Amino acid sequence: MMAQESVQQQSITQVQLLAALAQQLAEQEQHLLQQQQQQTKILHRLA
C-alpha cells in the first residue's frame, strides 16, 4: 500500500510540474506576442 501512495504522490508532483511549465510557456508566449505587436506598430510608423 505504501508503494502505491508513493507512486500517486509522484504522479501528483509530476502533474504540478507540468502545470507550472505550461503556465510559464503561456506567459512566455504572451510576452512574445506583445513584443511582436510592438514591433509591428514600429514598422508601420517607419513605413
Which pLDDT tens digit goes with each residue over 13-22? Answer: 999 999 999 9
CA angle, 31 then 15 then 28, to 5°: 5
Question: How many domains does the chain divide into?
Answer: 1
Averaged pLDDT of the chain: 94
> At a CB cut-off of 8 Å and minimum separation 6, what does 19 contact?
none
Which cell numbers in the block locate residue 3? 508503494
Confidence of residue 1 (pLDDT cuts 50, 70, 90): low
Total residue count of the chain as it appears in this document:
47
Cα end-to-end distance, the chain, whole Å: 69
Range of the domain at 23: 1-47
